[in-house]
Each structure stands twice: as structure tokens, then as C-alpha cells.
Structure 1
Amino acid sequence: MCAASIALAISMDTNCIRIALGTILLILPCLPFLSIAEVIYPPLELFSISCGSSTNFTLDGRNWIGDNNSKLLSESQGSVAAPPNTPTAIQGPYTYARLSHSQFTYSFSLKAGPKFVRLFFYSASYQSFYRTKAYFSVTAGPYTLLRDFDASLNAAADDDPGQPDILFREYCINLEDGQKQLNITFIPSKTAQHPYSYAFINGIEIVSMPPFLYYTNPDDYDGVPQTVGTLSQYHIENSSALETIYRLNVAGKDITGSEDTGMLRTWKADDNYLTTQSTTSVDFGRITKLSFNMTQNYTAPDEVYRTVRNMGTNGSMNMRFNLTWQLPVDSGFTYLLRLHFCELDPFVLQAGDLMFVIYIADQLVTNRADVLLWTDNQKGVPVVRDYVVLIPGNRKKLNLSLKIHPHPLRRFEDAQLNALELFKINDSTGNLAGPNPDPPLQTPKAPVENSKKKSSDTTRTLAAVAGAVSGVVLVSLIVAFFLIKRKKNVAIDKCSNQKDGSSHGDGSSSLPTNLCRHFSIEEIRAATNNFDELFIVGTGGFGNVYKGYIEDSSTPVAIKRLKPGSRQGVDEFVTEIEMLSQLRHLNLVSLLGYCYESNEMILVYEFMDHGALRDHLYDTDNPSLSWKQRLHICIGVARGLNYLHTGVKHMIIHRDVKSTNILLDAKWAAKVSDFGLSRIGPTGISMTHVNTGVKGSIGYLDPEYYKRLRLTEKSDVYSFGVVLLEVLSGRQPLLHWEEKQRISLVKWAKHCCEKGTLSKIMDAELKGQIAPVCLRKFGDVALSCLFEDGTQRPSMKDVVGMLELVLQLQDSAANDGVMESGRDYEDSEDVFGSSHSSVHVSDYSKSTGLSTTSEGDRSYGSKESFVLISNDVFSEIKDPKGR
């Protein structure tokens, strides 16, 4: 009976499988390989074609049929069937390929409806078809699936070590009523660079799917995807084609095609895309029987819904970080993101117990995600949420981020996700093809002996070094204004002449070897164990960042290796060296040296052991910083900014002061980094500002700057005031899920000052550590930096003096035993006065007798506020430089 059924299926449609519903029901009892899932969707049509082969075989739920002598090849002039010169051990349709220097087409007779179209490639050489010359396009009906596809480049960029040189692509294509045939055409891309290109394919699979699995059901209003960043909905029309980019079983294992719900989909584990920590995955097994009354039972295998990744119910520390996935995608396309949820936790009893916030591409899509609310308080009910997001760009790779954060009004401080699927939607021309990846960096041939540093150091310091080097990725923007143009051009010309691989040791170049060390490529290779991947601690558009060791492996450094095609070319490389080599301050990240030979552009920076300040304030499991540590860090940052404003020949305005750009070394000394947005300040005697477009980070931007487009050093002062509030509160400048009054940290702090309750914004970790008088004065400093009128803000020199006073007050209070540890700060005297909606620097001046103000102004501080500050602290307020 079984053999007859199989023979019947094989005999249909000349050497390819086309299984009707009745046939599937007939052969399922004797073909358990089709699916071992609890629920099976029986596909009406299933083709699995082993291209170039004359033999049939069964594997992983598929009956593979050879295409030789079949009627599927409707156009195949000159096509060749050949085995690979280097066979692969990977099972599947990879023992033969169909290859041709001319166009060839497969034609499939199909019924109307949506189909999975899957393409299988093994990038290898076949007879005289050399691997590197495979360069072609693929169309399916009106859609372009691949365009100028370089198989060898894509295989080299693929990060799946378990399947080397295997490429897989999956698409969803709908055949409208009246369409009875789908043509899949392979077209060699003949260009001047690729005159001998050819096209090839190892396997093709077509599987019918339910009509509204991914396409929008016009009768289901609730199932229409939400457009991220808007209140509108996005219909996935039947005329659309989709490409599967990711199908991830979150916190679970890989799920093979035979474990899917009959459609032979593969679900991968999410570990490679999760960028934040989470608890060990929870597997609820068979605790609760799943009930598919909110979605179809074939939507995903049961195992997807029985494993969940969450943050763990470990208390308030969970509010300090997100669950974050980073998904590389082609920019310039629209994407459908499907999130799968199922509540099985026995401790979550009713709606409202566990709520969380979801961000997609850093845009809020819901601030009250609640699985039990979605399922009417039903446990074990799978539910999906669909979102459509546009990733703008020019087709280059970007990361699409998914972030899930606990809701503050919740019983459990947790967030959760079971699975996700991401699909690219075709553009207006029917195109789904993205660009080829960049060529890989050339790997040096001779490995260098390991420096014997433990690889665990690399893991421990990932955030530290990645943060440290990010501070100089775009620093060339400063230098274009800082250097004399003639000198810079001479340097560029001379460096360009070094492209032959020679060194700069002859001294002919203007690169400042007297201020900045020149490393040979051999020294760099020795420092990084020949660019060993174990030494990589960060990556970006510029290339990889390595933790290296110099001086006989005694000194750790951060080594940034610019990759070919990086936005930082020779020009930026040279000017970055010239500028950074002239900036030297204890509180600025230092450039130690560079390497420019053998076509390598490499920069070497000091190593920052403790990473970014932000990583010690919130969204982290790092131990909390003490109040004294925070004060010392703030003073260090203020000194670094004051140096930029007053300690160099031309004032430098940083323009992106924030907690992620403040780095901490091994001794917790603070150093300012990331000069990518910096500008030279006003240079003429009569100039008071720089007219420029708005750049910076939301939450830190000087309102005067973004309203009037006038940039001054006081814009840095404003941003630093926001950092001071971050340090005091241990929270982000903007929290969109907070109640309206608390969304903006600055507005909340000002509101609390009006009420005399600044302690309400204080980090709970600091309770009992701050003397009340110190808290008052620290608040004075922060709010003086945040005046709307930039001329009323203190200079960074003034800020340094005021913060040093705050530290003195803290030390004095500690020595006098008046810390009032454990006391509620609301019970002490008002931190500030009341009845004021804004703070004015003139108020501080009046209380110290430095200047007079208009009648009616009152101070938030008491008369003794700044009695310890010398008369020159407010020197700029006395003489505001003509502003």
C-alpha cells in the first residue's frame, strides 16, 4: 500500500512530486518523515527538485526528484549537469548542479495561491565552471529574487560554520487566479568584469501554504500588521512577494523541516542575534496543553511556544537593561516582523501581572504588551503580533533592532518572547535582491604565536573596548576645520604614495611620528595574534576592533583595523592621526599610534577597562557606582570638556556629550570620547557662534541650538547638565513608557525642584550616601547648565569649580557625621525653594553678590550657596564675551 502510494506520487508530473491532498492523507501513515510535529498542514503541492541529478532520494521530510530528462526545464540551451569538484558532506541536493553560461528556466504547473519557493546552492567549482565566476540573477514570474548574485562572496560572508559554502534562500510568492504556471529563470550576468559568468542551482523546492499565513486576510481587521512609527496599518497584498530573512526559535534549539508543521520550514536558534544577557531559556514542556484559538495551529510548531526567553524575575535590576536582538538587513526595503508569544508561566496568573514595552528599530510600537490581555486571560494560547517597518538607506547592510523592556507598572519585572520571523517585502519594481557583501579582508598567511592572554579577558572587556574606540570613528569631521588645508593635502599625497606597502619610517610624510608612534604591520600582527578572531571585542562600519598587547605583551591596547571600502579613507585616516596626536589631556581618550603599510590602515588607542559610564548607571548588571565615584567622574568629564573649550588653539565644541561617550579606565578615571560630531568653535573676535545643522543625540540636545541652529560651547554645557542628572537619577534622559510628566528627565527634575523634592529623581542605589547639602548644591550645578538661554549657563571652567565644591561639601559632611544615612530626603529641608518654573543663573549671581538681576527674581539656592567658590568662577557671567 505504502509503496504503491509512493510510486503513484513519483509518477505524477514526470519525475517531480506534486502531491494532492488525498494523496498526502493516504501516504502520511507510512511516510512519517514528512513531519513529526504535533500538528501538520497538508500542502496541496510539493515539489522538491534535485537539479542536475538523475537519481531520487528521501531526506528530512522531502522526496527529492532528479531533473534530468524532465519536462521542468522549459529553456535549457547549453545547460550542463555536473557534480562538484569538491564534494560536500552536507546532505541534501548538493551532489549535482545545473549550470549554464546561458539563461535557463524551470517551469512549474501550479494552482492559484501562495507558495514557498526555496533555492539551494552549493558554492563550489564544477568541472570547468570555476567557483568565483558564478555571477547571475534569478527571477520568479514578475519578481527579481537575486540580482548579480555573487555566490562565492555570499558563501564567504555566511557565518554558519556547520554548513560551509551552502546557501539557502526562501521566498513567498502568490499565484493569482488565472495563473497556472510559475517560471523560475537563471540568468548569467555578463559584464566587463564578469565576461565568463555562469548561473547554477542545486535544488528547487515549491511548497503550497495556507492562504493567509503571511498574507493579510481582508476579513480579519485585527490581523493587519501595524506600521512602525505611525498609527496606520499595512496590508500584505497577494500581489506582494516576500523573502524570509530570519525565522528564529527564541531560546530554543534548531527546528528542522521535518519538525515543522508540514511546510518544511527551518527554525534557527536566536543565540547569534541576541546582544544582551538573558536568563537560561525556560522550557515548559507539556505543563499546559496548547490551545490554538487565537491563531491557526500550523502557524508554528508547538515546541516554539513551549520555550521562551525572558529576563528572569530577579528584582529591580531587570529595569536596568533590555532584551535586545540585532538583525542585519538590507537597507532601502520594507520588512514584516512577526513576533510569537505564548504565556505558560505558572506564576503569571492574570492580565497585568507581566507587561513589557516593545521597540522596533528604536521606535516604540507598544508600551503595554501583555500576552494574557491579548488572549483574554487564557494560558497556553499562542498569539502573534505583526509589524511592518521601513529601513531607509541605499541597500547597504544595517541592523534592525528589536528591544523588549519590562513595564514599570507590573507585578513581574520581566519581558518575554517565544519566536520571531522577519520577511523582506518587494519594492515597487518587484525586486527583492540586495547587494553582494563586501569582499572579506585578506587573511595573513603566517600565524603568530599567541600572546598567552586569556580569551576570557576578551569577553569581559567587550563593552569597554567597543565603547572606547567608538569615540573616534568619525573624528575626521573636526580635523577638516582644524588643520591647514595645504599641510593636510601634502600628507594625503605622501600617504597615498605609500600604498605600495612601504613604511613611513623615512620621515618624509607629514604624519606626526614625533607625537604619535608608528607601528609596523608585524608589531600589529604580533599584538593581535595575527588578527585572531578571539581578540575581536567590537565591530562597526569601519571594521573590527581588537584587544591587543604591546610592549612585550605587557600593555593592553584597543586596535581599530579599517576595512577596505570603509567610509574612513586615506584622507580621514591621516587627518584623524594629525588631530588626535595633538590633543593630550588626562580626561580625553588618547591615540597611541597608527600603522599604514601593506594596504592596512590601523589606529591604536589606550585601552579603557570599565567601558562607558552609561553601562554603570542603568540597563546593566554591573555593580552600582558609589556617590563619591560619580562625583569624581563628573569632575573629570568637566575638566576634559574645559580643555576642549579653552586649552587648545581653536576651541573645539564636542556636540555629542552623553553618558555613552564618557569612558572609564582601570582606575575609574573618566575620559571624553567620540569626536565624530565635533566642530571648531567661533574663530573671529566678533563671532559668538557657529551656524550649522543640528547634530547630536536626542535627550541631550541644547534647545537653543536646535531651535536657532547656532552652536556654541554652551551647547556642551547643556548636554553635560543632562549627564549630571543621569548620574544622580540612574535613568535615561527619555523614557517613553513613563507617565507624561516623567518622560523627560530634565523636565521631571525641574518640576521636582519647583516642589522642593529633587530627591525623588535620585537613584535608589544612592539612598543614604548623599549629604543633603551636597544634593542641594549638585542640583544647583545641574540646573544651572540647563538654562534655556545659553548665555546664562556657566562655562565649563565654572562647572569644574562648582563640582569641586560639591565634592568638598560631601567630604565635610562625611567627616562631620551628618550624612543622615537612611533618612528620607523628603523629610529634610526643601532641597530648593518652591513656586518657580525655571532656574536662572542670575539667581546664583545675586545670592553671591556677583551681579544684580531684575526685581522679583528669586533664587532656588540659599544665600550661602557658593561661598566657597572663588571670585573667578563666574568670570564669564561677568564678561559674557559679547553674547
Structure 2
Amino acid sequence: MLLQLQIIHGSTVSRIGLGTILLLLFLLLCLSFYCIGDDIYRPNDLFGISCGSSTNFSTLDTRNWTADIKFLSPTHQAVAAPPLTPSTQQGPYNSARLSQSQFTYSFPVTPGPKFLRLFFFSTSYPNFDRSKACFTVQAGPYTLLQDFNASLNADADDDPGNTNVLFREFCVHVGDGERLKITFIPSATDSYAFINGIEIVSMPSYLYYTNPKVHTAELPRFVGGETYEVDNNSALETMYRLRCGDAIIPASGDTGMLRIWDVDTKYVISQSVESIDFGHKTNLSFTEKTPNYTAPDLLYRSLRNMGPNASINISFNLTWRLPVDPGFTYMLRLHFCQLNPLVNQSGDMIFLIFIQDHLVENMVDIFSWTDKQRGVPVVRDYAVNISAKGNQKKAYISLKMRPHPQSKIMDAQLNAIELFKINDPTGNLAGPDPDHLPQTPNDQMSTKKNNSTMRTLVSVAGAVSSVVLFSFIIAFLLIKRRKNVAVNKGSSKKYRTSRGSSSLSIPTDLCRHFSIAEMRAATNNFDEVFVVGVGGFGNVYKGQIDNGSTTVAIKRLKPGSRQGIREFRNEIQTLSPLRHPNIVSLIGYCYEGNEMILVYDFMDHGSLRDHLYDTDNPSLSWKHRLQICIDVARGLHYLHRGAKQVIIHRDVKSTNILLDEKWVAKVSDFGLSRIGEPTGISMSIVSVNTEVKGSIGYLDPEYYKRFLLTEKSDVYSLGVMLLEVLSGRQPLLHSEEKQRMSLVKWAKHCYENGSLTEIVDEELKGKLAPQCLRKFVEVALSCLLEDGTQRPSMNDLVELLEFALQLQDDVVNCAVESPVNFEDVQ
């Protein structure tokens, strides 16, 4: 392969002796025998298009490139041109298709998922200046690139071996009878669009898309949340495909789909980690869940582990940090294969996996995962949502591994990482361009000459301004200090803070303050063994305070996070004065250094969501579910009318309803709550000028469409939760047929068609009194009316749900004397 790369980068055949050529041919022959990718998976569609070229050719990476003219739309005005500066890279870079107007390629492909790869050589072409290339790329309903500035992206790329060469890979699904159309649209009148190469390769149906027949337990899970499915309506962008080893696996070494497996070196931020290659000592055994086309054989024979640090410090993490675009959901795939000869039984090597500092796997035992067989590849998929914060252009996904304290071999290992961006609800996959063009030395010299005179003038003006500004600052600080002294002298002693001047203004008689030392003692220094839950805020630990006499739930914000400071303060100020049997009690908080921690009563039975679906917990009875709904309505009624001011929760959902040791439901998580007008008025209205907060599937349409927040927004969310309790499914299921995708729409459809039993949880079929079912659904749908003023109040809901429970009890009691057909719902 080294000899291949020399030829690719410009060495001529005349400089290579005959013996070397024969050796090269022999190596290529061996490589074709060794890399059995085409024998593993043969794509139905394989297009390699050299855009702007009039001839066909092949490259040493086994790719065949053909002319593009027959795939262009007949009305196109795009021209073909060679680059003014030839590329030293092999591939479709010796010509380009360019235009200042829109042009489209159309490909006849078979139905199913495809790799769509775009190749760009960012340089100047005749009559097309490099800096003017700015355009959008669409494939069917998806926007792959938006106002894509090729030169800006190429200059920001830090790969010295591929100067000015850009590569993007996407996964799209093509339906029956459809053609794959790719459209290039210039962003402005003085800009142009261009493309050097297009590659389309079929992939197996369920390589990255979710198999609808797969068991729920095997679906990807959101970090800290519900299951996630990548359905055929999704498009993906490959962000990273990384082999945990020291050598790239080229397209010719893939399993027939021409994927390139880069090395992970630049993304590993741990010190003293090692890469190990086990060679061909053990044969690999692929399975139905992990077929032989999943990844190359070679990939599973090398891995990265923790090196000498693992045995010295069990808290040491093997860590990867991957830059991503904020505002998208990502699918993270991890590849494992146990080949370590020291691992002979379950428990020999166990480790933990953290994504975004959330514990996602607490007992990774690859040997057990593969039925105690060595050399069996296995993959695990996770969904990660990266929210956008203001004008932030770059975020990071972190992956950490650490040995489990009970592991005999103190180590963790990984073979490969794949990360895919998933399109947003509008079909967009495009991220932002880099901020600035790096200056070349010539640019910097020119800038210095042009700005030398101006710099002198600025220096003089700056000196004068600095004196004036410094005087204002001194005066401001003196005034501020006097005000602070006056405030501190007049403040009550029962108010305290624990971090600098960032006062939380929390009365200590309502909310207890804990030191970080107390929190560490309560959780054994935040030992992952005590993690009982994860969420957007951070980990939740089961802890012991007051010398072990009190069990508490300790919610710890990710250290150093800026996202939760407002929600942290909001939760304390909102929740600390509240006292109600259906509101979770806040015991105290810790606000010290970079730590923000909340301490609550411990809820033995977790969240309501934990007992409805995607769980191994026993199913709740219908009467039990009804009582929980009543508890929740009572708690929300207290927020709306029982406190001094109206409190709008804004995030009512099953994961925020906790169940104590007696199964009493308590409303929790007040980080998004808002304070309305004092109680006593008919309805409190809060105009929201900032971004809408809440959870998708539960959001009041009146709130997110009109930015009008009232307590009836909580009523709407409760209505969704009532249907969730009845059906035992999530509010949104993208894997369902269109009619059933939205639980709300499906419930309305079933009600209108007189088929209510269709939405009842299978665990409850035949156990609901018909009168109770009808009344319960009517109550839920009344909560979901478009006009918030027509929805019932929370007090009304308490009475209506109690009435539904009475209907269930009456029929059940009558059934003792005379049989009742619970399926007879008209």
C-alpha cells in the first residue's frame, strides 16, 4: 500500500523498475484475494461519475469512473472544465461540471438505501474563480449542503495529504419507481456551483436503517431517554468512520461498499492509550445480527485499549472527542470484538461506557454479549441529540470508557466508531461553514503593508481612548462596590450562597445547602455504581446523607456546563417553597466551584415511563394507572392554583412523573417552569419571546405556534400523557405507518371511528370497563383541543378522572355478581 500511495502522489512509472512493477502487480493480486469485499456484498447499483469528463477511466482504489453527460438534465447550462492547477490526487479531480445556474443529475436506481458520495476539488477553473464557489446541494427532499462555501471548507480542512480536496458521504433511501435526483443551486447571482465526482453505491437494507422486525430491546436508545429508529424517511451524513488502529482501511479493503475507515488517532484525547493488533490467530464468526458485510475483517482484529493507566487508576477514562454540528440528532455506532487470549470467561473484562458523560452501559462484557465465544463481532447503536446554543457553530460528542470495579482485567476496548448525522424535521442535513479563512503568509504580508498607516492612527486614538475608558471603569467599580456593601449589610442572614457573588437568594429554612464534600461522601465520590438515571441535566445518583439515615436522589449537572445554570436556579427557586404530596420534594442543593447539584427525596420506583413501555418491569394495572393520572392532575392543580403564584410546569411527560415506595405519583423536574400571574384570576398568560421549551410530542400547538404560554399548555401535555398511559407507547413513533405515527392523531381517528380498543395497551386488553374507557378517552381528547380556552382546568380534570375511576370500580364490582364483556365498546 505504501508503494501504491507513492504512485498516487505523483511518482511516474518510468522511475519504477520492472522488478518493482512485477512486485506491485503481485501485491495487487494478493490484495484482491485478501480483500474479499465484492464477495461479501455486491451492490445492485454502483455509479462512479467523473463530472465534466468525456472519457471513462479507473483508479488504483478499484473505482471505475464514467462520463457524466447522459445523467445531466437536458436543459442544463453547466459547462465542463479542467482545473487551472491539476490535482495530485487520484480520482475524479481532472475535470468539473460548473454553472452559475441550477443543474440536476438524475440516476435510475433500484429501490432501497444508497451511499451518495460527493467529491470536490476546490481550486480555480477557467472563468470560475475559486472564492466564488458557494452553493446548495439537494437530493430529493433532503438538503445535503446549504450555501456551501467550498474554498472556506477546504482551507479549514487540516488534512495536509488532501489539499483542496473535499469529500462528503450521505445515506439516502430511494422509493419504488423513483429516480435519485441531485440538484446543485448557486447561492447568489455572482456565485457558482460545481462538482467533480458523484458516487452512488447500494447498501444492505438494514446496515444503518432500522429493521422494523427487530426487537424493541435491540433498538438504538437516546442517551438518557427513549428508543430511536432510523426509518426510511431519514437521510444520514457520515461524520466519522474510524478504525481504532494505526492504519487506514481503504475503499478497496471494505466489504464491497467502498467505505474508507480512517484512523481514530486525532480524536483520542486520553494519554498513554494503546493500539493492539491480534492478527489472524483466531477466525472471526459473524452472525445474523452482525453480518460479514458490517465492517472489514481486518477492522475487528485491531483495537484500542487503555494501556498502562487502566491498572494504575480505575477512574482513568479512555476518551474520544468528536466535533459535530449542533442542532441535530446523531447515531453513534460502536464496534466490538473480543480476541484477547486472557479473556476466557464472563467477568474477566467488564467496563462502562459514557456518552456525553451519561452512563449508557454499566456492564459491558463482550464475551457474554457473544454467548461466550471469542472472535464474534458485535455492534451497539446509540442516539445522541446535540442542541444548538445561540450562535454556536461547533459542538462535541464525547465517548468515554472505564473499567468496572468488579472486572478481573482492568481495561476497556473498542474496535471502531461510526457517527452519522440525521436530518432535522425539515429534511436539512447542512451544517454551518467555518468562520474565517486562514491567512497565507502572502496574505499576511499584504495586510501588513495596507494597514501600516492605519495602525499608527489607531494606536494614537487607542491610547487616548484607553485613558478615558480606564477612568470610567474606576468610577463604575467604586459606585458598584458602595451599592454591594449597602445590599450586603441589609440582607437577611437566612439567605445564603456558596459560590462567589452568584447569589441564589434561597431561604435556608426552605432549602438546605450542602457542601461538595457532603455530596462526595453521599455518593462515594460520585461512583458510577450509584447512578440510577441519566438526563439532559446530568447523572442522577442514589445517595445517603445524615450518616446514612436518609436515602436521597442526587442530580448532578455536568461539571462546567453552561446549559443548565438557568434551569438549576429556576428549579431551586420554584420548587423549594412547594409542599404537596404529589410534588417531589427538594431537600437541598450544592452550588460550589463548577458543581451544581440538586438533592431530592428518593423515589423507589423511578419514573412512570419506566413502567409503561420498553421495560422489563411488570405492567401496571389499569386501576393503578388511573390513580397515578389522578395524582398527577392533583399535583398540577396545586401548581396552577394552590401556590401563591401560578406555576406553569412546561414539561409534563411520563419521564417527569416519579413514583415513591407506595406508588404515589409526584411531579418533578421544574427546570423549565415559568411563573405566571398571582392565583385567583381565570387564566394566567405568559408571553414567551424566547425559544419554545418543552418535549417534542407533548408541546401545546397554541404555545409553539403563537408563543402564548398558559396553564392550559400543561393541560395539553397531560392529555398526551393520558393517552401514553392508556396505549403504553411513545407519543411519536416514526417506525409506525403514517396514520399511527402520532399518538394524538391516532387516538382522535380511533375515537371518531368507534374503534377505541385499538389504542389500548395489549397488557390491558379485556380489563377496561367500556364506560370507563370512553370517559377516559373523552377526557384526554378534551385536553388536546386546539383552542386552549376550551380545554378543562386542572381542577376539572381531577374530578373527571376520579369519575372515570369510579366507573371502572362500579363495573368491576358488578362483575362479581354478573359477568360483564369489557370488550364491548361502542
TM-score normalised over the length of structure 2: 0.56
**Contact 2:332/2:383 (CA < 8 Å) preserved in 1?**
yes
Q: Give the Å deviation of 1:719.
A: 4.8
2:193 aligns to what?
199
2:615 aligns to what?
none
Q: Which of 398, 406, 421 is the equivalent residue of 1:401?
A: 398
Q: Deviations over 1:314-333 (max 9, x none)?
A: 66423132111111111111
**Contact 1:94/1:202 (CA < 8 Å) preserved in 2?**
yes
Q: Give the Å deviation of 1:67.
A: 2.4
Give the secondary-structure state (helix, strand or coil) at the position aligned to 1:320. Answer: coil
Distance 1:285 1:113, change over 3 A: same
1:542 aligns to what?
none
Q: Which of 379, 382, 390 is the equivalent residue of 1:387?
A: 382
1:789-828 alignment, distance < 5 Å: none
2:47 aligns to what?
47
2:686 aligns to what?
none
Whole-angstrom CA distance in 2 between matches of 1:103 and 1:407: 56
**Contact 1:51/1:96 (CA < 8 Å) preserved in 2?**
yes
Whole-angstrom CA distance in 1 between matches of 2:177 and 2:345: 49
Q: Deviations over 1:371-401 (max 9, x none)?
A: 1121111100000000111111157210111
Q: Deviations over 1:208-248 (max 9, x none)?
A: 01000000111121674332334521111011111101000
Give the secondary-structure state (helix, strand or coil) at the position aligned to 2:373. Answer: coil
**Contact 1:171/1:243 (CA < 8 Å) preserved in 2?**
yes
2:422 aligns to what?
425
1:93 aligns to what?
92
Distance 1:188 1:38, change over 3 A: closer
**Contact 1:75/1:105 (CA < 8 Å) preserved in 2?**
no
Which amino acid letter does the alignment assign opposite residue 506 of structure 1? A
Q: Give the Å deviation of 1:359.
A: 1.1
1:364 aligns to what?
359
Whole-angstrom CA distance in 2 between matches of 1:790 and 1:77: 65
Q: Does 1:330 align with 2:122?
A: no
1:550-589 alignment, distance < 5 Å: none
Q: Deviations over 1:325-346 (max 9, x none)?
A: 1111111111110000000000
1:109 aligns to what?
108
1:735 aligns to what?
527
**Contact 2:135/2:191 (CA < 8 Å) preserved in 1?**
yes
Whole-angstrom CA distance in 1 between matches of 2:589 and 2:35: 68
Q: Which of 446, 463, 466 is the equivalent residue of 1:509?
A: 466
Q: Give the Å deviation of 1:445.
A: 5.7
Q: Which of 222, 231, 234 is the equivalent residue of 2:228?
A: 234
1:522-541 alignment, distance < 5 Å: none
Q: Give the Å deviation of 1:55.
A: 1.9
Which amino acid letter does the alignment assign opposite residue 247 of structure 1? R
Whole-angstrom CA distance in 2 between matches of 1:740 and 1:31: 50
Q: Which of 185, 188, 191 is the equivalent residue of 2:186?
A: 188
Which amino acid letter does the alignment assign opposite residue 356 of structure 1? F
**Contact 1:323/1:405 (CA < 8 Å) preserved in 2?**
yes
Q: Deviations over 1:21-53 (max 9, x none)?
A: xxxxxxx99994995559631111100000001
Q: Deviations over 1:583-614 (max 9, x none)?
A: xxxxxxxxxxxxxxxxxxxxxxxxxxxxxxxx
Distance 1:690 1:651, change over 3 A: farther
Q: Deviations over 1:130-182 (max 9, x none)?
A: 01100111111111111111111111111211101111010111112232x11
**Contact 1:354/1:411 (CA < 8 Å) preserved in 2?**
yes
Which amino acid letter does the alignment assign opposite residue 683 of structure 1? V
Whole-angstrom CA distance in 2 between matches of 1:115 and 1:211: 9
Q: Give the Å deviation of 1:364.
A: 1.6
1:67 aligns to what?
67
Q: Deviations over 1:769-789 (max 9, x none)?
A: xxxxxxxxxxxxxxxxxxx89
Q: Which of 421, 433, 438 is the equivalent residue of 2:435?
A: 438
Query: Per residue, is there more helix in 1 or in 2?
Result: 2
Which amino acid letter does the alignment assign opposite residue 142 of structure 2? Y
Q: Give the Å deviation of 1:579.
A: 12
Which amino acid letter does the alignment assign opposite residue 183 of structure 2? T
Q: Does 1:347 align with 2:305?
A: no
**Contact 1:48/1:62 (CA < 8 Å) preserved in 2?**
no
Whole-angstrom CA distance in 2 between matches of 1:680 and 1:374: 61
**Contact 2:311/2:411 (CA < 8 Å) preserved in 1?**
no
Q: Does 1:256 align with 2:60?
A: no
2:161 aligns to what?
162
Distance 1:505 1:44, change over 3 A: closer
Distance 1:254 1:690, change over 3 A: farther
Q: Deviations over 1:780-834 (max 9, x none)?
A: xxxxxxxx8999x9xxxxxxxxxxxxxxxxxxxxxxxxxxxxxxxxxxxxxxxxx
Q: Does 1:751 align with 2:547?
A: yes
Distance 1:749 1:315, change over 3 A: farther
Give the secondary-structure state (helix, strand or coil) at the position aligned to 1:381. Answer: coil
2:146 aligns to what?
147
Whole-angstrom CA distance in 2 between matches of 1:404 and 1:682: 51
Unaligned runs of at least 5 residues, structure 2:
1-27, 446-453, 534-538, 551-586, 593-826
Distance 1:441 1:683, change over 3 A: farther
Q: Does 1:303 align with 2:298?
A: yes
**Contact 1:38/1:302 (CA < 8 Å) preserved in 2?**
no
Whole-angstrom CA distance in 1 between matches of 2:367 and 2:475: 57
Which amino acid letter does the alignment assign opposite residue 108 of structure 2? S
**Contact 1:121/1:167 (CA < 8 Å) preserved in 2?**
yes
Give the secondary-structure state (helix, strand or coil) at the position aligned to 1:90. Answer: coil
Whole-angstrom CA distance in 2 between matches of 1:389 and 1:207: 27
Unaligned runs of at least 5 residues, structure 1:
1-27, 449-496, 515-573, 583-647, 653-678, 755-787, 794-883
Q: Share of identical aligned residues, percent?
A: 48
**Contact 1:243/1:432 (CA < 8 Å) preserved in 2?**
yes
Whole-angstrom CA distance in 1 between matches of 2:104 and 2:358: 43
Q: Give the Å deviation of 1:431.
A: 1.0
Distance 1:506 1:87, change over 3 A: same
RMSD (Å) for aligned C-alpha atoms: 4.4
1:396-795 alignment, distance < 5 Å: 396-442=393-439, 501-502=458-459, 506-510=463-467, 683-688=487-492, 719=515, 721=517, 733-738=525-530, 751=547
Tell me the matched-pair count: 514
Give the secondary-structure state (helix, strand or coil) at the position aligned to 1:144. Answer: strand
Which amino acid letter does the alignment assign opposite residue 251 of structure 1? G
Whole-angstrom CA distance in 2 between matches of 1:738 and 1:203: 52
1:247 aligns to what?
241
Q: Deviations over 1:413-440 (max 9, x none)?
A: 1111100100011111111111111113
1:569 aligns to what?
none
Whole-angstrom CA distance in 1 between matches of 2:226 and 2:255: 32
Whole-angstrom CA distance in 2 between matches of 1:685 and 1:84: 74
Which amino acid letter does the alignment assign opposite residue 431 of structure 1? N
Whole-angstrom CA distance in 1 between matches of 2:283 and 2:52: 46
**Contact 2:223/2:382 (CA < 8 Å) preserved in 1?**
no
Distance 1:719 1:124, change over 3 A: farther
Distance 1:349 1:711, change over 3 A: same
Give the secondary-structure state (helix, strand or coil) at the position aligned to 1:281. Answer: strand
Which amino acid letter does the alignment assign opposite residue 119 of structure 1? L
- Is the deviation greater in 54-63 or in 239-248? 54-63
Whole-angstrom CA distance in 2 between matches of 1:231 and 1:710: 35
TM-score normalised over the length of structure 1: 0.52
Which amino acid letter does the alignment assign opposite residue 202 of structure 1? N
Whole-angstrom CA distance in 1 between matches of 2:72 and 2:132: 23
Q: Deviations over 1:38-84 (max 9, x none)?
A: 9631111100000001122111444433425x321114532111111
1:245-324 alignment, distance < 5 Å: 245-293=239-287, 294-312=289-307, 316-324=311-319
Which amino acid letter does the alignment assign opposite residue 735 of structure 1? D
